[in-house]
Amino acid sequence: MTLLILIAVAFGGIALGWLIAFRGRPGLGWITAAAVILTSLWMRPLLEGEPWEPSLPLGGWILVAFLLAFMLSFGAPPIRCRLVTPILLRAAAPLLPRMSETEQVALEAGTVWFDGDLFSGDPDWERWLQEPPYRLTEEEQAFLDGPVEELCAMVSDWETVEHTDLPSEAWEFIKRHRFWGMIIPREHGGLGFSAAAHSAVIAKLSSRSTALAVTVMVPNSLGPAELLLHYGTDAQKRHYLPRLARGEEIPCFALTEPNAGSDAGGMRSRGIVMRRVIDGREVLGMSLTWDKRYITLAPAATLIGLAFKLYDPDHLLGERAELGITCALIPADTPGVQIGRRHDPLHVPFLNGPTTGKNVFVPLDAIIGGPAMAGQGWRMLMQSLSAGRGISLPSLAAGASQLATRTVGAYATIREQFHLPIGRFEGIQEVLARIGGSTYWIDAVRKVTASAVDAGHRPSVVSAIAKCYATEAMRDVINDAMDVAGGSGICEGPKNILARTYTSLPIGITVEGANILTRTMIIFGQGALRCHPHARHEVQAAREQDVETFDRHFFGHVGFVFTNLARAPLLAWSDGRLIRTPRRKAVLDAKGADEATDADNTQGDSRGDAPSGAHLVRGNALAREYQRLTRMSTAFALAADFAMGTLGGTLKRREQLTGRLADAVSWLYIGSAVLKRFDDEGRRADHLPYAQWAMQEALHRIELALVGFIANLPSRPAAWILRAAIFPIGARRHHGPDDRLARIVGRGILEGGSAHRTLTADVFLPPATELGLGQLEDALIKVIAARKGEQALRAAIRAGTLAASPSATLIERALAAGVIDSQERVLLESAALARAMAIAVDSFSPEEMRAPRTASLDAARARNDVDARRRSTGS
C-alpha cells in the first residue's frame, strides 16, 4: 500500500511539474517534480507507521546533492557564465550556420510581426484580433469607384492581346489620374494612398486584365519611387517624385540579369568610379556597363533604376576598392543606354524587355541617396521588398481568383447538362468548393498583410508567405476554373474570360522571388533566425563571442524547447482544448447589423436577385479553430527547434525539410489571416462555411507538412521523440474539408447569391452587352429570374401533363396549357436566349486565323449580333 501511495505521489509531482512547464516555467517544473518525489521519500517512515527521522537513504542524499549542484551550475547565471557557458559556446560556434553578406542583409530586412507569435508556439489571439482591420478611406473608395472603373472599361483583355499593348487612351488615363503615384505622398504630387488602397486597385485591375494590372503595379512596387521615398536625397525627391507621379517619367527597375536571378551576389553589371572631363569641367562619376533582362516597362521607360556592383580602384571615394551593390537612376536617353526591345511573356502583352548599357557615364549624384549610399543597394532593395512583396502579387492573385469564382459560379448556374445546371452535380461542387474556399483565404491574406504594412510593419517573412502561397493557390484556382468551363475555357476569342489569366499564371509564380526558392530557402530559412525568440541572438552572440548574451539566449532557448515539449502532448491529447479562445462580443450592435443587412439587400436588388440578408454569427463560431491552430503552432515550433538542433548549419542545404517547415508556418499564417478576416468583417453567416473550409484546409496542410518532416528527419531518435510529442495518439486527425462542407461551399457561389457577390466584390463587372463576362452576368440574372417558370415546366413534364419534346415549342405549349403565364413566358425566352449567347464560343474563318487578328473582335461582335437576331426569331 505504501508503494502505491509513493507511486501516486510521484506521478502527482510529475503532473504538477508538467503543468508548470506548460505555463512556460520548465526549470521550475522539473525542480518541483523532483522536490515532490524527494519529499515523499523523506516522509516514507510516516506512511509505514514508523517514527519519522529527518534522514534520507544514501541514494536520496546523492539525488539532493545532484539537484543542488545542477541548480547552482545551470540556474545561477553568474556561476553558469563562468563554468558552463564558455564550454557550450566553443562547442556550438562551429555548428551554427554561416551566412554571406547578402544573406545577412536579407535576414535583417524588415520587421518581425505576428510571424514571431507563430514561431513562439503560443499565438496571442487577443492581440492579433486587435490589429487594425483592412479599411479604405472615402477618397480611396471614390478612386476605386471612379477612375479605376473607367480605366477597366477602356481595356479589353482580348484587344490588348491582339494589339500587343494597352490602348493609347489607357496609357494617357493612367498618367493623368496618377495611377503610378499611388505610393507617392501628396506633398510630392502623388495620391498618397494606403497599402490597402494600392492592393484594392491592383485586385480590381487584375480581374480585368493581367497586362493592365502589371503595368500599374510595378511602378508602385519595388522601383525608383519606393527607393527614392526611403533613401533618396531631398534634391532627388523634389526632382523625380512629382514627375513619376504625373507619368512624365516612365520608370523601370533593372535588377535581374543572365547570371544573377535569385543570386544577386552573381551580378556582373558593374560601375567604375572615375573622373571624366565633360564640357570642359572635371566630373566625378561612374562608368556603367550592364546587361539586364525581364525588366517590366523597360521598352517604354524614360528612367531606369539600375542595380550594379560598384568598384573604386583608384580610391577616389575612400580606402575600399569594392564598394558592393549600388542603386542609381539613369535617364534612358543617356549616351550608351540601349532600350526598347521586348520580351514576349507568354503572349501577355505588358511591356517587358531587356536593357543594356556600355560605358555609360553618370555623375555620382545619380546614386539613389547620393554618394553616401554607395554599396548600400542590396540593403535598400531587401528593406523595400520586405513589405512590397506582400502587396502587388497577392493582390493580383486575389483579383484573378475572384474573377474565376465569379465566372464559374455564374457558368455552373446557367450551363445545363442532363436537364440540370452543372453546379448541381457533386463532382462540380467539389471543384467549386476549392475555388470558393481558396478565394476566401487568398483575399484574407491580401487584406491582413496590406493592413500590417499600413500599421507600420515591414514583415519580410509574412510578405514572402503572401506572395508565394497566394500565387500558387491562384494557379490551382484557375486550373479548377478551366475544368469547370470546359470547352469555353480553351477556345480563344473575346468571349473567353479565363484564357489570358490561365496563360499568365507562371508570371506571378516566377517574379519577385521564384516560388521554389521562396518556399525552400526564404520563408523558413530566414524565418527560423528572424522570428525565433532566441536563435538569431545565439548566432550573433556566438559570432561576437559574447558570453553573457549567448548564455541568456541559449538557456532561454533550452527552456523554450522544454516548454513546447510539455505543451505539445497535452495540446495533442486535448486537440487544443486547454487553450483559452479570444472573447468576442455576442453580436455586432443592432445598427451595425442593420447596415450590413441593408447593404447586402441593396446589392442583391441592384442585380435582380432576391435579397439574402447578411446574418451575423453570434459568439465565437471558430473557437475550436483558434485552439487547433495554437496546437499546430506549438508543434511547428518544436519541429523547428529539433531541425535546428539536430542539423545545425547544414539545415539550410536540406531544402526538402525546410520546404515542409515553410509549408507549416505559411499555413499557420493563412489560417490566422482567415480568422482575422472573419472577425474583422463582422462574422457573417454567409462567409462562415468559407472560413471553416479554409481553416480545415489549413490544419490539414500543416499536419501533412509536419508528418512529412518527421518521416524524413535524418536523426531517427529525434524523429521518434518529436512524433511522440506532436502526435502521441497518431496523426491524420485533420483530413481537410469534408464532403458536407464542400457541398455547402460549392453551392454558395451558385445562383448569384450573397457569397457569390461578396467573395467577388473586387471584380470589375462590364456592361451586359460586352462579350464574355458581361454576357455571362446578364445571362445569370435572366436565368435566375426565370427559375419559377422553369420549375413549373419541369413539374408539368414530370406529372405527364406536358411533353418534353419537341423542345422548340415547349414554352408555347406550356403557355397554351396554362402551366406558365405570359410574363413567365417572356422571362423564359429571354433566359434561353441569354444562356445560348453566354455559352457560345468564338470561331474564326480560315482567313481570320491566317491573318493578323486585329480585326477579329469586330468580326466576333458582328457574328454575335447575327446569332442573337437568329435565336430571338427562332430561326
Q: Tell me the catalytic residues.
A: 512
Torsion sign over Cα 791, 795, 798, 804? negative
The CA angle 790-796-797, to the nearest 5 degrees, is 90
All cell numbers assigned to 802: 406536358
| Cα 269 from Cα 265, distance rounded (Å) | 11
Looking at this protein, which amino acid is placed at residue 536?
R
Which runs of consecutive H residues, i.e. helices, occur in 648-738?
A: 655-680, 688-712, 716-726
Alpha carbon of residue 741 to chain centroid: 24
Distance CA 753, CA 621 (A): 22
* The three cell numbers locating residue 290: 550592364
Cell of 35: 522536490
- Write down the residue that cell numbers 473557437 correspond to: 623
Q: Looking at this protein, which amino acid is placed at residue 749?
A: I
DSSP string covering 252-298:
EEE--BTTBSS-GGG---EEEEEEEEETTEEEEEEEEEEEEEEEETG
User: Kind and range of the H or E element at 528?
Assistant: helix 524-531
Tell me how crowded residue 171 is: count the other CB atoms within 10 A of its CB. Answer: 16
- The span from the CA of 825 to the CA of 827, in Å, is 5
CB 666 within 8 A of CB 154: no
The DSSP string of 411-478 is HHHH-EETTEEGGGSHHHHHHHHHHHHHHHHHHHHHHHHHHHHHTT--BHHHHHHHHHHHHHHHHHHH
Bridge-based pairing of strands 303-311 and 251-254 is: parallel
Residue 395, C-beta contacts closer than 8 angstroms, at least 6 positions apart: 198, 199, 200, 202, 203, 206, 217, 446, 450
Sign of CA dihedral 327, 328, 331, 335: negative
Enter the C-alpha cell of residue 466.
503572401
Cell numbers at residue 304, please?
A: 531606369
Among 335, 323, 336, 330, which residue's Cα sits nearest to residue 365?
Answer: 330
* Cα gap 434→429, rounded to integer Å: 9
Phi/psi at 582 (5° precision): -65, 140
- Residue from 398, 513, 440 nearest 671 by CA: 440
